[in-house]
Every structure is written in C-alpha cells, then in structure tokens.
Structure 1
Amino acid sequence: MKNICLLILLMVSFQVSADHLTVKHYYVKESIPGTAVTSAYMLINNHGDDDVKLLKVTSTLSERIELHQHVFADQMMKMQQVQSISVPAKGSVKLQPHGFHIMIFKPNQLVKQGQYVDLRLYFDDGVTVNLDVPVISSKTKKTH
C-alpha cells in the first residue's frame, strides 16, 4: 500500500518547467545493496518549435553520470552510453528502464527510498533544468 501511495504521489505532483521544456514523472531507483550504480528516469516534453538535445546531467551525488540507452544488437539487449538524447519539437522523450535513461555511477552515499537526489539537466539550447528527484524502491514497478 505504501508503494502504491508513493507512485500516485509521484505521478501527480512532480513537474518542473523551464522555458519551453517540461520535465515530469521523474524518479531515481534506490541502490541495490552491493552495487555502485543507480539510475534516473523521467519524461521530457519539448513545447518549442525546434528539436533540443539533453547533453549531460550533473549531481552532488556523483562525479560520474552518463546518458545511456538499451539497444538490441547481435540478438542481445545491451546498454550503451550515448552522447545526447534528442527531444523532438512539439514532442517528448521518455527516459525509462530498457530505453534511454540516466546512469549514476559510484554515488557518494547509499541511495534509499524516501530521499531526494539533486539533478541538473543541460540542453544544447542553453536551458538548464534543476530537479529535486525522489528516490523510490528498487522493487517498485514504475510506468509513466
């Protein structure tokens, strides 16, 4: 029941707008014990007339944050780093498990449900979006 309430809260209340961009439904998965990575997901809407690219993400949580994508190659799903993530004009891109996502390597603290992680998103048109992202249980199945 606690996870259901948290999911409803996340889906309704978290949205940040900056210029022509809106970022919503954002969350970070809590750390799995024994691992040194976690990941962040969100929906980015571009209300502008031009495509934009997410170029990088920074945080006080980690010095190493990368943009990643899962791809099907050689009959296997593989995760690979990408240089940017395009958000089409008048469109959106969903960062989600098994698709585009943000990888956070070697967090400087254990990431637990109930905490918040600061993320700063940098776009190629000069827009920067600051987020205070909730951490949800790694057992929670989340959809946008």
Structure 2
Amino acid sequence: MTLFVRLIPLLSIACAGLAACEPAKTPPARMLAVAKIDGVEISEPRLRLPPNGRDVTAGYLTLTNSSDKAQKLVGASSPKAQRVELHAHLKGADGMAQMRQVEQVEIPAKGTAVLAPGGLHLMVFGIKDPLKAGDSFPVELTFAGNRKVGFAMPVVENPSQKTEGDTGHGGHPH
C-alpha cells in the first residue's frame, strides 16, 4: 500500500503531462466579421456597460484591411448617443498618458488596427437610453471618402466598473 501511495503523485504528473501534449481538438475560431467595407472587415465589436448609471463609455473592435492600400477610419456615430469619438491614450508634455480625441485611425494595407482598452478606442458620450449587458448598440463608422458602414455592438459587462470615460474627461470640452 505504501508503494501505491507513493506512486499516486507520479501518476498524476504523468497524466497531466500527457493531457498537455494532446493536440487541440478544435482550431481557434477565426474572427468573424460583423461588417465589411472596401476591403476592411470589422470584428470583435463590444461596448462596455456604463458604470453606475453614467452615460459615457468606451467601445472596442478590430479593423482588418485586406486591401493593398491603407484605409482611414475618420469618425463614428450612433442614433443612441449624442456623439461618438475616436480616442487614444497619448503621452502629454508631462510624460503622463492621457486620453485624447484623434482625427483618424489608420488601418495599414494588409494590416490590422485594434481598438482595445488602454489604446485606441471609441468614446461614446450621452447615451440616450439605459443599457444592460446583452443589449445591442447600433454604431456607424465613417471611413475617408465619406464611406459608411453600420453594425451592432454587443453591450458587455465591465468587471472593474471603470471605463475609459472615468478618467481624463473631467471638464473635457469635447
């Protein structure tokens, strides 16, 4: 019995090792586009649930450009918000990162631009109706040349209950 008790940890390690070497049963899912325009695919859209009844939040997505020329995202809007702006975290003169509105987001030829927490993102101001996780939020993106494409962003929980709009926008004129 003592030998058996001593072998249990070794058997557990061996089984775990075999499981780790096992090939994946399914390949990773390809990002599915929710909208396309002139070679640009929009995928992984999500809008953070505004915290504490606020009407400001951030939206994120991935823009993949399959064309041979760079594309430019120049604006966004929603019938469910007063305004939607393109934002980025930029270093100020003091070296501190601050959120600022940007005029455009470039999507390189055969490349990708990711709008994600801590980087480029959409800022949504003046949300007209209260949102809850699982809702769909309509958004229209505008690309250079006044080319527009609309789609729905799912509203997702925000575990930290803090959005891009919680800091850096106090007294912000835009």
**Which residues in structure 2 correspond to 1:1-144 (within 5 Å)?**
15-73=34-92, 74-139=94-159
Matched letter for residue 66 of structure 2: H
Alpha-carbon shift at residue 111 of structure 1 (Å): 2.1
In the alignment, is the contact (CA less than 8 A) between 2:31 and 2:43 conserved in 1? no
Q: Which structure has greater strand proportion?
A: 1
Scaled by the length of structure 2, what TM-score is found?
A: 0.69
- Distance of aligned partners of 1:12 and 1:82 in 2 relative to their CA distance in 1, 3 Å threshold: closer
Q: Which residue of 1 aligns with 2:172?
A: none
Unaligned runs of 5+ in 2: 1-29, 161-174
| One-letter amino acid matched to 1:25 | E
1:5 is matched with none
Aligned-residue identity in percent = 28
CA distance in 2, matches of 1:125, 1:79: 26
Q: Distance in 2 between matches of 1:39 and 1:27?
A: 9
Deviations 1:52-76 (A, max 9, x none): 1111101111121111000133232
The alpha carbon displacement at 1:126 in A equals 4.1
Amino acid at match of 1:52: Q
> Quick check: which one's helix share is greater?
2
Long gaps (5+) in structure 1: 1-10
Highest CA radius of gyration, 1 or 2?
2
Give yes or no for contact 1:52–1:125 (8 Å, CA) kept in 2.
no
Counterpart AA for 2:116: Q
Instruction: Kindly report the root-mean-square deviation, in angstroms, between the aligned alpha carbons of the 2 structures.
Output: 1.8
Per the normalisation by structure 1, the TM-score is 0.83
1 or 2 for the larger relative contact order (CA 8 Å, sep ≥6)? 1
